[in-house]
């Protein structure tokens, strides 16, 4: 076994496509399974840090709390996002429930209406807490992004998915203005977080869903015109602060990875193995050594529907493909879903601990 590393050393070694002492581990989950995991480990409902430690998570996030005015009015039977004004309603299903986006208040909005839509000022955040947060989490790899970016989803929450895709194809001024305002706000806040962290932020975690299970959601031409151009400033900002960029992309997204490399993105996240051109073997063969990987443990496979033994074997198989040469972080493809049995998720992380070790 290699010398035991701190979480930060482990992640940065992996991001550099080298073998660490073990595969770094990360965790995201919906409230239902999150609560069941905390109960399993004897933790209080709000003990997020205790659960991260129990699972061996190597990543943490630092951010600046919002201290500005209330921007969006409450809406009955809705949850309203305090920054962007998205609206969601609670939809129950057999294993729990989700807050689903609805109403789409800027669906038919013109450019003038979008320009007046309330967004926070970067001045309305308390950056003074950042140094202490960095100190408290010094041994971990720190994400300092103020948001995913997320043009297709983020605009879609306000203008609808169909409307947003039409905006991208037609260069609609209102849709493009909304994207620019949202991205500018996130970029400015992120820049101030990085400045306050004084070199301690290790990566920015951005995101843009680019594919379905069977193919691209948009063309490469549209990606380069409207998506890549708006993410490049984040990549340039990260580089100026010696930080990595990790991008979350759902579905078939490897078609954009060559552009990602050119942009300075070093890590790709999600890696849905069921989607076209997203199998672990294909990704490792095609991009291994040029991109690091984070994810690949499907939330729609054995973790949700298999036995404990099937989960363990599935995770071992993924590790055997992705670990050689380094460059792989063990994580679920999306937030673990509420239909995942507790014992399966426990087996998933136990496998990462036992099988994810370099010798």
> Is 83 among the domain residues?
no
Stretch 268-297: mean pLDDT: 97
Q: Is the pLDDT of residue 83 over 70?
A: yes
Q: Rounded to whole angstroms, how far apart are CA atoms 137 and 126?
A: 18
> Is 98 among the domain residues?
no
pLDDT digits (tens, 9 = 90+) for 214-246: 999 999 999 999 999 999 999 999 999 999 999
Q: What is the number of domains present in the chain?
A: 1
Banded pLDDT at 106 (limits 50, 70, 90):
very high
> Is 80 among the domain residues?
no
Nearest to residue 63, comparing CAs of 154, 190, 246, 186?
190
> Looking at residue 25, what DSSP letter applies?
B
> Is 97 among the domain residues?
no
Q: Is the pLDDT of residue 1 over 60?
A: no
Q: Is the pLDDT of residue 307 over 90?
A: yes
Nearest to residue 265, comparing CAs of 222, 232, 288, 296?
232
Question: Percentage of the chain with pLDDT > 90?
Answer: 97
8 A C-beta contact, residue 295 and residue 275: no
The whole domain housing 195 covers 7-70+107-355
Nearest to residue 257, comparing CAs of 237, 277, 230?
277
Q: Rounded to whole angstroms, how far apart are CA atoms 230 and 318?
A: 33
Q: What torsion, rounded to 10 degrees, do the Cα atoms 302, 299, 216, 172 define?
A: 160
Banded pLDDT at 97 (limits 50, 70, 90):
confident
Q: Is the pLDDT of residue 300 over 60?
A: yes
Stretch 169-196: mean pLDDT: 98
> Is 90 among the domain residues?
no
Banded pLDDT at 2 (limits 50, 70, 90):
low
| H/E element, 27 | none
Q: What are phi and psi of 41, to 5 degrees?
A: -90, 5
Q: Rounded to whole angstroms, how far apart are CA atoms 253 and 209?
A: 8
Question: Percentage of the chain with pLDDT > 70?
Answer: 99
Q: Is the pLDDT of residue 94 over 90?
A: no
Q: What is the mean pLDDT of the chain?
A: 97
* Residue 220 neighbours by CB distance under 10 Å: 14
8 A C-beta contact, residue 357 and residue 317: no
pLDDT digits (tens, 9 = 90+) for 48-65: 999 999 999 999 999 999
> Is 264 among the domain residues?
yes
Q: Is the pLDDT of residue 253 over 70?
A: yes
> Is 64 among the domain residues?
yes
8 A C-beta contact, residue 155 and residue 173: no
State the pLDDT at residue 96: 81
CATH classification at residue 123: 3.20.20.210
pTM: 0.96
In the block, tokens 């992996």 appear at 14
> Is 59 among the domain residues?
yes
State the pLDDT at residue 64: 98
2 compared with 88, residue with greater pLDDT: 88
């Amino acid at each position: 076994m290699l010398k035991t590393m701190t979480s930060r050393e482990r992640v940065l070694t992996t991001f550099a496509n080298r073998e660490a002492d073990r595969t770094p581990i990360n965790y995201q989950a919906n409230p239902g399974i999150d609560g069941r995991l905390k109960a399993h480990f004897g933790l209080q409902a709000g003990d997020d840090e205790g659960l991260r430690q129990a699972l061996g998570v190597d990543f943490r996030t630092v951010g600046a709390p919002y201290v500005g005015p209330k921007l969006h009015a409450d809406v009955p039977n809705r949850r309203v996002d305090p920054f962007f004004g998205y609206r969601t309603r609670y939809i129950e299903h057999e294993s729990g429930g989700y807050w689903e986006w609805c109403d789409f208040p800027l669906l038919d909005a013109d450019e003038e209406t979008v320009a007046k839509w309330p967004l926070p000022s970067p001045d309305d955040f308390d950056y003074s807490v950042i140094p202490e947060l960095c100190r408290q989490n010094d041994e971990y790899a720190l994400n300092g992004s103020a948001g995913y970016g997320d043009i297709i989803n983020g605009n879609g929450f306000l203008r609808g998915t169909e409307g947003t895709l039409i905006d991208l194809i037609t260069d609609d001024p209102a849709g493009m203005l909304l994207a620019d305002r949202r991205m500018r706000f996130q970029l400015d806040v992120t820049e101030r977080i990085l400045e306050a962290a004084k070199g301690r932020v290790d990566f920015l975690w951005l995101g843009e869903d680019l594919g379905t299970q069977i193919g691209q959601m948009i063309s490469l031409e549209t990606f380069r015109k409207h998506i890549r151009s708006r993410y490049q400033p984040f990549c340039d900002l990260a580089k100026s602060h010696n930080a990595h960029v990790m991008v979350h992309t759902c579905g078939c997204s490897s078609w954009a990875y060559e552009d990602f490399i050119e942009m300075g993105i070093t890590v790709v996240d999600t890696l849905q193995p069921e989607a076209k051109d997203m199998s672990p073997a294909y990704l490792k063969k095609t991009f291994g050594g040029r991109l690091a990987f984070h994810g690949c443990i499907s939330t729609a496979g054995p973790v949700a529907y298999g036995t404990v033994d099937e989960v363990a074997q599935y995770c071992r198989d993924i590790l055997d493909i992705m670990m050689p040469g380094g460059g792989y972080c063990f994580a679920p493809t999306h937030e673990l879903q509420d239909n995942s049995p507790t014992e399966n998720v426990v087996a998933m992380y136990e496998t990462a601990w036992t099988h994810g070790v370099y010798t």
